Amino acid sequence: MTTSTTPNLWRHADFVRYWTGESIARLGVQITALALPLLAVVDLGATPVQAGLLNGAQFAPYLLVTLFAGVWVDRVRPRPFLIATNIIRAGLLALVPALFVAGVLTIHQLYVAGFVIGTLAVLYDLSSSTYLPSLVERDLLTAANSRVQGSVSAARIGGPGLGGLLVQAISVPVTLFANAVVHLISALVLVTIRHRDPAPPARTRTGVVAEIGASLRFVRADPYLRVCAFRAGFNNLFFMAMQTVFPLFVIRSLGADAATVGLVLAVGAAGSLIGAVLAARVGNRLGPGPAIVAGFGVGSFAQALIPLAGGPDWLVLTVLFGSFLLGGIGTTIGNVHLATLTQSVTPRALLGRTTGALRFLTWGTMPLGALLGGWLGDLVGLRPTLVITALGFTASLLLVLNSPVARLRTLPQPSVPQDAAVAGRD
């Protein structure tokens, strides 16, 4: 890539439209993540167990739906799918407050809504990952992924705050209805894209289950995807364990308040935004492989700082802010180049099902990580649990460091699938 990457991308009108619609949708997702549990707890009087079941319903599709969704996404044009998922989400987010106002909304209906919203999030994410490589040229992929990661980070910074303000100003049900409008706006922006994505490959007689198995074998056979999948799954296991005990650590062990937790998380999201801006420059200087190692190395070092927090309030805040700022920067740099590597080595016709297989292998460990964090917190205490999670982050870095990924100076060409089910042959 050259230094002209950024202006070329900014002049790419269709990408700007896609990026705008994507950013609006990501903001809506963050508002939903805040408002839906609040509706259950505040307005429906949900117990902690019921609140946990609602969160579980929203994450369950990553385990139950992702593999099938990946095959499905490869069989459709991705842009209409992006538009459709936004419209359906808008309808559902409008239906929930309507049922509440009518006095017929129950917690069980909210479980169903959470599961459907989670399923739509899976479908949207897979469609977006499939669409982007067809929208921009290969040499602009890293910069494009940086913009998308920047949108995700900005939504994480502003979404909860905006959602909180809306909840206080207009109530939870009205906030959900307003969020339905947000998703409709995203759909309308995506409609304006002039680029027409290529038609999906011709359907074959290969069954869905066979294609799912073949996509998993394709990930296992590729030396880069195999390492990335194993590393990300291992890392996410310990990330969710850390996320589970971190609020308890800040409030109970350090004597801070809930506002401090939110402020620290916001600093981490700001770090992610900085990392998204720096990612292309780091990749240009180091190459994609060393950029992945450097990014995740900084992220692992940052995690090791968390259990060291203690002492005066100013020192606690300095350590936590520094940890989450560095963690956001490093992890986002690594993730941007990891996403670009995945899109580069995967044939475009197989990107949906391969991304689905990767999401299943990498995000499927997150619910287990939440359980692990809670169990370790009770068993050995909060600070020792954070030490264990920091060691887990370091171990995941070593997996990449001792792999072919670390030696990549340029992006590889797409792999050639040997499996007939993946290749699309009868």
Lowest mean pLDDT among 68-72, 154-158, 379-383, 385-389: 154-158
Q: Which residues lie below 8 Å from residue 314, measured CB to CB, with a gap of 6+?
A: none
Q: Which of 215, 275, 277, 238 is nearest to 373 (CA)?
A: 238
The residue with tokens 């993540």 is 33
pLDDT, residue 169, reads 82
Residue 334 pLDDT greater than 80, yes or no:
yes
Task: Look at 130-139, 157-166, 186-195 and tell me which has the smallest mean pLDDT.
Answer: 157-166
List the structure tokens of 281: 């420059």
With a cut of 80, say whether residue 4 has pLDDT above it.
no
pLDDT for position 77: 85
- In terms of Cβ atoms closer than 10 Å to its own Cβ (0-12, 13-18, 19+), residue 45 is exposed
Question: Do residues 189 and 20 make contact, with C-beta atoms less than 8 angstroms apart?
Answer: yes
In the block, which residue shows the tokens 């401090």?
Answer: 260
Ramachandran bin of 197, using left for φ above 0, alpha for ψ from -120 to 50, beta for the remaining angles = beta
Instruction: Report the amino acid identity of residue 255.
Output: G
Q: Give me Rg for the CA atoms of the chain.
A: 21
Q: For residues 125 and 130, give the distance between their C-alpha atoms in angstroms, rounded to a whole number.
A: 9
Q: From 371, 286, 298, select the one nearest 337 (Cα to Cα).
A: 286
Are 190 and 24 within 8 A, CB to CB?
no
Alpha helices in 346-426 (DSSP H): 351-363, 366-380, 382-401, 420-423
- What is the pLDDT at residue 7? 47
Closest of 359, 363, 388 to residue 373, by C-alpha: 388
Q: pLDDT band for 425, please (50, 70, 90 cuts).
A: very low
Q: Is the pLDDT of residue 410 over 70?
A: yes
d(CA 110, CA 113): 5
Q: Is 243 in contact with 303 (CB distance < 8 Å)?
A: no
Please report where in the chains the tokens 């935004």 appear, as a residue: 273
pLDDT band at residue 61 using 50, 70 and 90 as cut-offs: confident
Weakest mean pLDDT among 41-55, 108-122, 353-367: 41-55
CA pair distance 91, 116, nearest whole angstrom? 12
For 220, the token pair is 């296992």
pLDDT, position 1: 39
Q: What is the distance of C-alpha 371 from the center of its chain?
A: 20
* % the chain with pLDDT above 90: 32
DSSP, residue by residue, 309-362 = --SSHHHHHHHHHHHHHHHHHHHHHHHHHHHHHHHHHS-GGGHHHHHHHHHHHH
pLDDT confidence of residue 14? 93
Among 146-150, 271-275, 416-420, name the one with the lowest average pLDDT.
416-420
Answer yes or no: is pLDDT of 3 > 60. no
**Residue that wins the pLDDT comparison between 167 and 206:** 167
Cβ 241 vs Cβ 422: under 8 Å? no
Query: Given this model, what pLDDT does residue 95 score?
Result: 96
Q: What angle separates helix 288-305 from helix 258-286, to the nearest 10 degrees?
A: 160
Q: What pLDDT shows up at residue 264?
A: 84
Is the pLDDT reported for residue 202 higher than 70? no
Does residue 197 surpass a pLDDT of 70? yes
Q: How far is CA 128 from the centre of its chain?
A: 12
Cα(371)–Cα(378) distance, integer angstroms: 11
Please provide the average confidence, as pLDDT, over all residues in the chain.
84
What are the structure tokens assigned to 2, written together?
């050259």
Tell me the C-alpha distance between 226 and 129, whole Å. 18
Residue 92 pLDDT > 80: yes
Residue 424 pLDDT exceeds 60:
no
Letter string b/e over residues 100-123, b meaning 16 or more CB atoms within 10 A of that residue's CB? beeeebebeebbebbbbbbbbbbb
Q: Which pLDDT band, with edges at 50, 70 and 90, does 297 fall under?
A: very high
The reported pLDDT for the residue numbered 98 is: 96
End-to-end CA distance of the chain: 38
Residues in contact with 168: Cβ distance below 8 Å, sequence separation at least 6, in sequence order? none
The yes-or-no verdict on residue 19 having pLDDT over 70 is yes
pLDDT above 70 as % of the chain: 91
- Of 3-7, 33-37, 271-275, 314-318, which has the strongest mean pLDDT? 314-318
Write down the pLDDT at residue 267.
85
Q: Which carries the bigger pLDDT value, residue 97 or residue 369?
A: 97
